[in-house]
Structure 1
Amino acid sequence: MQNKNMIKYALGLLMAGASFLPAKAQLGTVKEKFTRADTLRGSLTTPLRTCYDINYYHLDVKFDVDKKFISGNVLFKFTAVSDFDKLQFDLWNNLKIEKVVYKGQELKYTREFNAVFLTFPKNISKGSKDEFRVYYSGNPTIAKRAPWDGGVEYNTDSLGHAWVSTACQGMGASVWWPTKDQQEDEVDSALISISVPKGLKDVSNGRLRKVTDLKDGYIRFDWFVANPINNYDIEANIGDYTHFEGIYNGEKGKLTMDFWPLSYNLDKAKAQWGLDAPRMLKAFEHWFGPYPFYEDGYKLVESHHLGMEHQSGTAYGNHYKNGYLGRDLSGTGWGLKWDFIVIHESGHEWFGNNITSKDLADMWIHESFTNYSESLFVETFYGKQAGQEYVHGTRMAIANDRPIVGAYGVNKEGSGDMYYKGGNMLNMVRTIINDDEKWRGILRGLNKTFYHQTVTYNQVVDYISKEAGMNLAPVFDQYLHYKTIPILEIMFREGKAYARWTSTDAKDFAMPVKVRVNGGDYKFITPTKQFKPFELDGATKDTIEVDTFNYYIGVLVE
């Protein structure tokens, strides 16, 4: 009977562990205790960080590939938010600071862990615009398993050409260049100048301004980013690249598409990227609004690692296969009809790059929405039922191991459930709202309201609740702050039906849920934490059905 299956399903969910590696494993490692180094890296509120607002970076970095050595300088342009004479920037302590120059003179600085404290010769006044330049060098941390355990990745392609890339989400951009290393303060624009040995090319974010022969065996590639960008997105990709291009006629006009595969993969890239990149743009502009970075264009760049959402320059390493390295993460078949990395990592252009969480603890804002975007892509081309089957199928990877929201102020992400559990939560919120056009309006409205902004948990949840016209905060609270999932208990006594939610920690949890008699139409009921009667003609413990297809919940019926 279905009721027995629902009971087994509920208990199975409570004991569930991930059955295979998630498409993008959680960042970093689980930490139970935090150190001063964590606070220096993750704090958003220290006066040494809040005193200045970054406006512009110019990275000028030379890669000595053979020695795995980098050298160069970074220009910081900023606006003073308050009066100050000391600030903090960040650079991993295995990299040497050669000097810091301000108005022609070298400044004093101290270092503690990966934080650098810079002292100015006089007070910098609130509202003033100023700048300094950091010269540095060294052997940056080599990625052990990019992008999850990142840094700088050194490889060779199948023809023996050097192939180098950066991937530093979570650990931070300061692993390879000096920066104010926090997501809250995005730079407004950036110039990225990467010098590489002759015979190789660099592909970075934004648009290529010029290529300069340095006459010393190196060539410099200058890329300009016109839009705000979070610093972990800034990338270098060095290899034997070739180039082809296209145009997408989008909501804001003609969007340039630039594709940079390795030279010998040109035909594969034309076939794979040429199909799925335009399809991705069609789906996501429909659901989320215009691609957020028309001024910088859209790019795909082949990488040795699996992929990263580098803004306007998505890194791609899925070997030109459909699915996730040829696998369907949903087990439904729908995931083999498109290239996972093209779709998922590009989805981050809207959630992660356009809308960026202020604190790493709220990475669910990036990953839950982008995971959910996969099902919307499926829905766009194969129908709503297919999209919902896809997101439902990904539940097999949910671990329910710890909260999705991490600890604030210490650069700490939460559970890897931010992907699949988060995606299922959003599909459930859509089901609760029960108005697909309103839901689409909410997704587009998020990207319009918070266009090119960094946001908090409350800003996102409050916006969705307001636009939905219902208080959804307890739902987000339960699924994001607690590892347990709600169980809907239904009880029949003397011909009457009663329901309540158990295994809930969120205050005032009273989530609407859909129930029906076998084969009939679904009806919403809104249980609370106390048993309350509900009306459903013909319902008995043997005939009642709960919509566990769209609701990620447990169910017990007696």
Structure 2
Amino acid sequence: MRTILLILSFVISSKLQAQFNCQSTKNLTSPQSSAPINYNSRSDTADLQKLKLTIDSRDFGNGQLSGVAKYQLYSKLAFNNLRFDLLGFTVDSVISSNGSLNFTQHGEHVIINESVSAGQTMYWDLYYHGATTKDASGWGGVHLDGAYQYNLGVGFAANPHVYGRSVFPCFDNFVEKSILEEMNIITSPNKVGVSNGILSEIDTLGNGDLMWKWEGQKPIPSYLVSIAVSDYFKQSWTHDGKSFEIYGRAQDTSNMTAGFVHLTEIYDAFIKEFGPYPFEKVGYALTITGAMEHAGMVHLPRNLANANLAGEDIIAHELAHMWFGNGITTRTAEDMWINEGFAEFGSHLYEESVYGRYKYIKTVQNNQSLVLKQAYANDGGHLALSGVNQDQTYGTHTYQKGAMVVHNLREFLGDSLFSSGIKQLLASNLYGNISAEGFKTSLSAATGRNLDDFWNDWIYNTGYHGAWMELNYPVNANWSATTKSINLHHLSAHTGTYKGSGKSVPVSIYKHSFNHGYQGKLSLGTSSNFQANNLDSTYYTNSIDLGAGQDYWLSTNDSAESLGTSVYDTFTWSSLTGTRTLAKTGVKITPKSTNSGLDGTFYVWHHRTAGLYEPNGTTSRDHFYFIGYEGNHSPPISYESELPFEVTIPFNTNPNNGGLDSDLNGLPASNMTIGESPTIKWKNGVPIGNASTQALGNTGVGNISFTPKHVSRYYWIMNTSNIGNIESSTNEYTIFPNPASQELQVRTNLTGDFLSYEITDTRGRHVAEGKSTIVNKISTVLLPEQLDKGNYLFHCELGVKRFSIL
């Protein structure tokens, strides 16, 4: 049963400041060194085994703190002096069991001058006092926000980021973990002091002031030590043998009850997925700024606890840190994805248990869309997850791409093996530190799976990987046969010189019929099963068994089997109450006055391919769109059915602001249009006649609107000024006679049975398309009757050739 305990009734009014979660403030930080300072080596010399910390908060109103840190430490190696980190405070004395020790203090360092041989256990007490401080971002350090007084253990603008030194003398790194045996917080009688561990007693001092005594048994690094002081009330209950404690002021109690309504379910979801909870209690102290994952006592901005549950994902994120970041901790800041990527994944995962799989899938897909749109701009480039620089430690790659990759890892291993593997990894490394390589080794041992390819694809290299399957002949397919000619495209974006293994990208195919509805799903292994066999090694083409079905088009990995290069939105015509901009693809849909009987589901896909295809100056090679319709119709509709809405697609040819179409010479922007094609394999579109271009000045930015004329089609941004000049210089095929009259002979070195082609005029307007049998390396293409004299372009997978009609 949930109970509310009234601790204190004294209320101090305060002016609430702006509130941030633990990632958003990184965007406010000052410029930093690109090389993170690594103080881990100190922990090879001495081990700070246990700590008893006393903090006097009674002068917080004047910005002053005094304290004593009592350490039990062990010398691993002999030393003549030992350096502690301490920021902004003055050390009064250092006392050992043998008396006072000599020390010097320089900047953020306290050097204790004592010769110690290896293998010795010592007891040193460091007394200190002084003014509290925050880092340059205004986030890390001690906050004295009116009635709320608390620390946040990470300095986004500090180097190193760990910020325990803003509260007490310590080894401020990720690897030094001490058991916080005692945290004693001295407060005035009307205040409550909360911290890590379990509250063992409240002592009343001679003058009526209070000492709040917290005891812990779990080792934690310096930056996870908690102190929060206010006129707190406590809500508490017991679940799974653990005390759940929420601390807030009187005006927060109703929001505390409402905002944490699912906390027990979130906890249960994480217990099920990750294993036993690693700390003494589940605690949250409401503050002004945060959120910060202090072990067993999260400091959470009070506005995130509310009846509309707007902060529930952050509540879940911070709880997930108890396993990732606190239970196991990254060895260095360069692998912060281990802490933050897994915690952000936790803020998605809990939805599967609390709200259902559909909600979880939508969240991970929205997160992927954010990564593809914003990670590059936010972090100043495309980054590998492992090895980030100091000023990118808490960036979009670390959090959001980290969560995206953890989801992919779960899908790659399967839910059950992922969970059992993570549980074993945590149990084997609990309260320790781990690197990206160590994580891979440990998880491989736990699962029996070789993770080298996954780590190379998603952790150690930049970019994104995906797959997309299409029917080779969507118009003229033989629907009576289950075997279909397909192309499996190996999509990638921003991978540089690295070529993905394909082994980490599953291929799950969904069949969507425009006359017979959803036709089922096929799981076909990974994209490595479809080794590219076309000339530029970007796709595999062959005939495979897709099972029964009719009038369908294909999509790939709809249910987030892998989050990579492609995002999509779905909608129905009846759901459109006016113009809508689709959340993930950014495509704007304006409905017509009637749906023309098309009352099914529309799909809009956006595929990223930057770096995959060679630029040609005419068709944007960095991305393309696909629009498809799924419905039930009798009598059947045709493939060439017009869709009941106008589509508006943005373009951006400006390389200075991350334009996706910067491979085109897009000025003037009025030259830009939309090209369409039934296939990706030619990597070209044919400009459509009903497109309208709206350029935004002379910026290379604008929008293109058009009405789709097919139930499934690909769309590219194109530069019309170059269309007549796109003839390929390839010698891979020849066409003759040229000039022609009734037919073309096409000589190729293709090994397949058919040649797919399209014919356009020199302005890119569609003339004909089809497939022709290859006999002795020659294909005969019959030209349309009464074709006007003039110049034309012949498109096939080998490139583009110009020919003329006399």
Q: TM-score, normalised by structure 1?
A: 0.81
Q: Which position in structure 2 is the counterpart of 1:321? A: 306
CA–CA distance in structure 2, aligned partners of residues 547 and 452 of structure 1: 37
Change (3 A) 1:397 1:350: same
Q: Do structure 1's residue 440 and structure 2's residue 419 form an aligned pair?
A: yes
Structure 2 SS opposite 1:309: coil
Deviation at 1:116, TM superposition (A): 2.8
How much is the aligned-residue C-alpha RMSD, in angstroms?
A: 3.2
- Choose from 333, 340, 356 the match for 1:360: 333
Deviation at 1:397, TM superposition (A): 3.2
Deviation at 1:194, TM superposition (A): 1.4
Q: Which position in structure 2 is the counterpart of 1:86? A: 81
Structure 1 SS opposite 2:375: coil
Greater CA deviation, 61-70 or 394-403?
Answer: 394-403
Q: TM-score, normalised by structure 2?
A: 0.57
Q: Do structure 1's residue 475 and structure 2's residue 438 form an aligned pair?
A: no
Greater CA deviation, 487-496 or 416-425?
Answer: 487-496
Work out whether residues 406 and 415 of structure 1, in 8 Å CA contact, stay in contact via their aligned partners in 2. Answer: no
Change (3 A) 1:416 1:138: farther
Deviation digits for residues 425-446 of structure 1 (CA, Å, limit 9, x no counterpart): 111122222x322122123223
Deviation digits for residues 365-406 of structure 1 (CA, Å, limit 9, x no counterpart): 111111111222111123223212111122343233342646
Counterpart of 1:525, as a letter, is T
Structure 1 SS opposite 2:350: helix
CA–CA distance in structure 2, aligned partners of residues 516 and 198 of structure 1: 66
Deviation at 1:52, TM superposition (A): 0.6
CA–CA distance in structure 2, aligned partners of residues 56 and 228 of structure 1: 8
CA–CA distance in structure 2, aligned partners of residues 340 and 114 of structure 1: 36
Q: Do structure 1's residue 25 and structure 2's residue 24 form an aligned pair?
A: yes
Q: Which position in structure 2 is the counterpart of 1:135? A: 127
Rg larger for: 2
- Choose from 288, 298, 314 the match for 1:304: 288
List gaps (5 residues or longer) in structure 2.
1-19, 155-160, 474-484, 513-519, 566-606, 610-679, 682-806
Q: Which has the higher helix share?
A: 1
Q: Which position in structure 1 is the counterpart of 2:166? A: 175
CA–CA distance in structure 2, aligned partners of residues 99 and 272 of structure 1: 45
Work out whether residues 154 and 164 of structure 1, in 8 Å CA contact, stay in contact via their aligned partners in 2. Answer: yes
CA–CA distance in structure 2, aligned partners of residues 111 and 532 of structure 1: 64
List gaps (5 residues or longer) in structure 1.
1-20, 157-161, 328-338
CA–CA distance in structure 2, aligned partners of residues 410 and 210 of structure 1: 41
Deviation at 1:544, TM superposition (A): 3.8
Deviation at 1:200, TM superposition (A): 1.0
- Choose from 143, 166, 184 the match for 2:151: 166
Change (3 A) 1:56 1:354: same
Q: Which position in structure 2 is the counterpart of 1:6? A: none
Structure 2 SS opposite 1:165: strand
CA–CA distance in structure 1, aligned partners of residues 248 and 21 of structure 2: 26
Structure 2 SS opposite 1:543: strand
Matching of residues 448-487 of structure 1 within 5 Å: 448-486=427-465
Tell me the matched-pair count. 501
Matching of residues 278-289 of structure 1 within 5 Å: 278-289=264-275
Q: Do structure 1's residue 218 and structure 2's residue 209 form an aligned pair?
A: yes
Q: Which position in structure 2 is the counterpart of 1:109? A: 103
Matching of residues 92-491 of structure 1 within 5 Å: 92=87, 94-120=88-114, 122=115, 124-142=116-134, 149-156=139-146, 162-169=147-154, 170-216=161-207, 218-248=209-239, 250=240, 254-273=241-260, 275-293=261-279, 296-319=280-303, 320-321=305-306, 326=310, 339-398=312-371, 399-401=374-376, 402=381, 403=383, 405=385, 407=387, 413=393, 415-433=395-413, 435-486=414-465, 488=467
Deviation at 1:74, TM superposition (A): 0.7
- The structure whose RCO (Cα within 8 Å, separation 6+) is larger is 1
Deviation digits for residues 404-429 of structure 1 (CA, Å, limit 9, x no counterpart): 64658979725332222111111112
CA–CA distance in structure 2, aligned partners of residues 33 and 246 of structure 1: 45
Work out whether residues 259 and 308 of structure 2, in 8 Å CA contact, stay in contact via their aligned partners in 1. Answer: no
Structure 2 SS opposite 1:400: helix
Counterpart of 2:270, as a letter, is F
Deviation at 1:134, TM superposition (A): 1.4
Work out whether residues 406 and 412 of structure 1, in 8 Å CA contact, stay in contact via their aligned partners in 2. Answer: no
Counterpart of 2:219, as a letter, is P
Structure 2 SS opposite 1:368: helix
Q: Do structure 1's residue 67 and structure 2's residue 58 form an aligned pair?
A: no
CA–CA distance in structure 1, aligned partners of residues 563 and 333 of structure 2: 25
Change (3 A) 1:411 1:80: farther
Counterpart of 1:154, as a letter, is L
Matching of residues 518-557 of structure 1 within 5 Å: 518-519=511-512, 520-522=520-522, 523-527=524-528, 530-531=537-538, 533=540, 536-537=544-545, 543-547=553-557, 550=560, 551-554=562-565, 555=607, 557=680
